[in-house]
Amino acid sequence: MGPTHMDKLDQHYPQALLAAHAPPCLSLYQPTHPTHPEKQQDVIRYRNLVKSLEASLLQQGGAPPEIRALLEPLHGLAHDRGFWNHVLQGLAVLRNPEGMRVYRVQRAVPELAIVADSFHTKPLLRIQQSADRYQILALSRSEARLFEGNRDALAEIDTSGVMPTPGAAGLDVPGAERGTRIYGATTAEGVTRHGTGGEQQFRDNETERFFRAVDQAVTEHYSRPSGLPLLLAALPEHHAMFRRVSSNPQLMDVALDVHPDDLSEGELRDRAWQAMLPSYLARLAALVDHIHAATARHAGSLDLADIARAAYEGRVATLLIDADRRVAGTLGSTTGAIRVEPSASPAQADVLDDVGEQVLRTGGEVIVVPSERMPSDSGAAAAYRY
C-alpha cells in the first residue's frame, strides 16, 4: 500500500464535514503519541477501535461484504508504517461509502468509534474553534515568523511570499551577535560606514520600516481574516517600536518579552498560553453571563430540548457545548426534537454533536467549553437571535 493521503482539517471544517453524507458514517478518534515508548501501543489501540466499528456495523444489520469493503482502507492504514512513525497528539478518521478522510491533529482527542447517519465532529470543532486559539508574531530586527496555536499545540505558519524581509541595505555581519546588522550606504567602493550616532539612527530607521511592513503583512493576510488575538514575542527593546508603528487591532496588550530563538516551540506555546489564559477565561465568563441574561428574558436556554428546537429553526446565535459530556441519541431532521437513548455508549451518536452542527449550518457560533466552565448540567447552553 502507498503512503496514506493526509487531509487538511482547516480546508474541510466546517463546510465539507457538515454537508450531508451517505450513511453509514464511521468516526474514529484516538489519542496518539509522537515518541516512544507510548507510540508502540498506538497501532494496537487503533486496530481495536476498527474492531469496535465492525461490531457496531454488524449490530446495525450491515451485510458482511459491504462491511468488509467499508473497513478495507481503515485496515490498510494500520499497515502504513510511515504514517504511524509521524503521528502527532491525536488522530481522526472519517469514513463512509463516499470516501475516507484522515487527520493528524495537534491536540489529544477522546478515544471513540462511532457509527451513525452523520459524522461525529465535536472533537474537530474543539480544535478549530477560535475561543482558545491565538497567533504569535516572533520578531527580531532581522526576521519575522508567525505561529498559530491553542492551549495544547503550536505550529509555524508558512508565510513564504507574504512576510517581508529587512531592507537590502542591511548586511549580515559574520560572527556578530544574533540579530546584529551593520547598515551603510552602498558606493562603488563598497559600504561606507556611518559614524556611531548616524549608524544607530540608520539602523533604527531601517528596523522601523521593517516592523511597519511586517505589521501591514500580518494584519492584512492573517489577523484580519482570522480575527485571532496576536501575541508579540520579541526582545523588550523592540516592543515599543513595533507598537508605535502597528495598526493591528488584534495585537494584545500582553506580550512575551523574549527573543523567539531562546525558546523551544513547546516553551513558546506554554508561555503563550499563560499569557492568553486570563483573556480566555474572561471571554468564557462573559459568554456565560450573556447566556444567563438571555435566559432570564426568554431569549436563551439551558435546556437541551429547547436548544435543539431553536437550532432546527435557525434561532441559535451562540451555543456552548460541554467538552467532556456526551448525550447518546439523535436530533430529528424534520422537527428538531431529540431522541435520547438510555445509555451513552461510545458507539452511539451524540445529540450535542448534532445540535452543534445544526447551529453551525445556520450561521451560529459554537464553542466547546470545559465542564467546569459550563453554566448548565444539560451539556448545552444557548443565546438566541430572536
Q: Is the dihedral of CA 231, 237, 243, 248 positive or negative?
A: negative
Residue 327 CB-half CA count within 13 A: 21
pLDDT at 357: 87
Q: DSSP characters for 39-56? A: GGGHHHHHHHHHHHHHHH
Distance CA 122, CA 266 (A): 26
pLDDT at 286: 95
Distance CA 113, CA 48 (A): 9
pLDDT at 53: 96
Rounded to 10 degrees, what is the CA torsion of 236, 241, 242, 243? 90
Distance CA 18, CA 354 (A): 10
pLDDT at 278: 95
Using the 8-state DSSP alphabet, how is residue 24 labeled? P
pLDDT at 130: 64
pLDDT at 187: 33
Q: Which domains does the chain have, with CATH numbers?
A: 9-128 (3.30.960), 134-279 (3.30.420), 298-384 (3.30.1330.30)
pLDDT at 347: 59
| Among 229, 323, 309, 313, CA closest to 277 | 229
pLDDT at 192: 44
Phi-psi label, residue 179: left if phi above 0, alpha if psi -120 to 50, beta otherwise: left
Alpha-carbon distances of 122 from 37, 62, 125, 171, 256, rounded to whole Å: 29, 26, 5, 50, 32
81, with CB counted inside 10 A (0-12, 13-18, 19+), is exposed
Cell digits for 14?
466546517
pTM over 0.75: no
Distance CA 235, CA 139 (A): 8
Largest CA distance in the chain: 85
pLDDT at 189: 35
Residues of the chain with pLDDT under 50: 1, 168-194
